[in-house]
Amino acid sequence: MSANNAFHIAVLAGDGIGPEVMAPALEVLRKVGEKSGLGFRFTEAPAGATNYLATGKSMPDSTIKLCEEADAILLGACGLPSVRYPDNTEIAPQIELRFIFDLYAGVRPARLIPGVPSPIVGADQRGIDLVVIRESTEGLFASMGKGVVTHEDARETMVITRRTSERLFEFSFRLAERRKARGKPGMLTCVDKANVFKAFAFFRGIFDEIEKKHPDVKTDRLYVDACSAMLVKRPWDFDVMVMENMFGDIVSDITASLIGGLGMAPSADIGDKYAVFQPCHGTAPDIMGQGKANPTGMILSAAMMLDWLADRHGVESAAEAGETIERAVDKIYAGGIKPMEFGGSNGTADITKAVLAAL
């Protein structure tokens, strides 16, 4: 924390609906801060496709320096489908930040909130409450910008290292232990394709090694194809799942779809020192400026940030504030709020107003 006893938060609103969902999250943080005695200092900075069009860079050096100095980083959504690098890849500072700050643990919770529809039969009675942990700096994404393309073929290289895998698994086991202490199953599933690729057999072998240090955590191992099939049949059987980068990219979208869609899904990218918090959704330029964006994922990402800040700085009131935000969100959906993304009439302003009132 900074000297004035306020958490300094770097705010990167981004592109498209990014600024539209960021504003409600900051309002919620200010209000919960007033109630819990927490102080916040928000510093906004440019990042994304709009900045690239203006300057030729996804982020200025000043944005990276701000992120380095801040207590945490809040990110809206970045990138636009029509704006590309010369190699035709999208502008993605959210991915670049993972590499810059070694944010190896991508945390993607999927919790079905009361009143939110799920496509899974029985989910309203059984509930869905799981966490996907996606390794965020290696795997197939380690090849980003390094692939080789010729007239005849294209090749990308997957990278899995012992150092990152060990840290990833330690993080995952600790999360399973914390969830068990809070009354959750405390089970950790390693998801891979170890029956086909040596790299995934290596990945699973390291998981087996780390497991020995955490005897109180129940474990399982699943191939990613079998895991995906099970998720859309019995998602309530899962608690914490850990996997390689590309698998996590795909599976986390599946789990978000089970709890109402990407607009409902928060996330965090966490390293040993730094962390970025952002909703799982993209910039949705098709609804930009229309007041239709669902800010719930962004608001819940802010709640995740508070929990991380509490753990990092030993400020218990921050964790309580995060729980207060989650309860407020639960209350408004149980009370009938229905975003436009799943057939309702409530837009950004309605949802924001309801959460603030519930606080």
Phi, psi of 110 (to 5 degrees): -135, 100
pLDDT score, position 88 = 86
- Token digits of residue 81: 């489908």
Percentage of the chain beyond pLDDT 90 is 94
Closest CA to 334 of 302, 358, 350, 353: 358
Helix 348-358 vs helix 316-334: angle between axes, to the nearest 10 degrees? 120
Report yes or no: 221 and 189 within 8 Å, Cβ to Cβ.
yes
Gyration radius of the chain over CA positions: 20
CA distance 233 to 303: 29
Kindly indicate the confidence band of residue 5, based on its pLDDT and cuts at 50, 70 and 90: low
What is the maximum span of the chain, computed from C-alpha positions, in angstroms? 62
pLDDT confidence tier of residue 138, bands split at 50, 70 and 90: very high
Instruction: Please determine, for residue 144, whether its predicted confidence score (pLDDT) is greater than 90.
Output: no
Fold observed for domain 117-258: Isopropylmalate Dehydrogenase (3.40.718)
* Superfamily of segment(s) 1-101+281-358: Isopropylmalate Dehydrogenase (3.40.718.10)
Cβ pair 155, 148 in contact under 8 A:
yes
Inform me whether the pLDDT recorded for 46 exceeds 80.
Answer: yes
Confidence of residue 114 (pLDDT cuts 50, 70, 90): very high
Cβ neighbours of residue 346 closer than 8 Å, sequence gap 6 or more:
337, 338, 339, 340, 354
Count of beta carbons in the 10 Å neighbourhood of residue 292: 18
pLDDT band at 3 (very low <50, low <70, confident <90, very high): very low
Q: Does the pLDDT at position 4 exceed 80?
A: no
User: pLDDT tens-digit profile of 307-359?
Assistant: 999 999 999 999 999 999 999 999 999 999 999 988 899 999 999 999 999 99
Mean model confidence pLDDT for the chain: 95
| pLDDT value of residue 342 | 87
On the 0-12 / 13-18 / 19+ scale of CB atoms within 10 A, 255 is buried
- Domain borders along the chain are 1-101+281-358, 117-258
Integer Cα distance of 16 and 3 in angstroms: 34
Q: Is 135 buried (19+), middle (13-18) or exposed (0-12) by CB count in 10 A? A: buried
- How far is the first Cα of the chain from the last one, in angstroms, to the nearest whole number? 24
Answer whether residue 2 shows pLDDT above 60. no
- Rounded average pLDDT over 251-270: 96
At 278, the pLDDT band (50, 70, 90 cuts) reads very high
With a cut of 90, say whether residue 175 has pLDDT above it: yes
Using alpha carbons, list the distances in angstroms from residue 245 to 11, 157, 267, 305.
25, 13, 14, 22
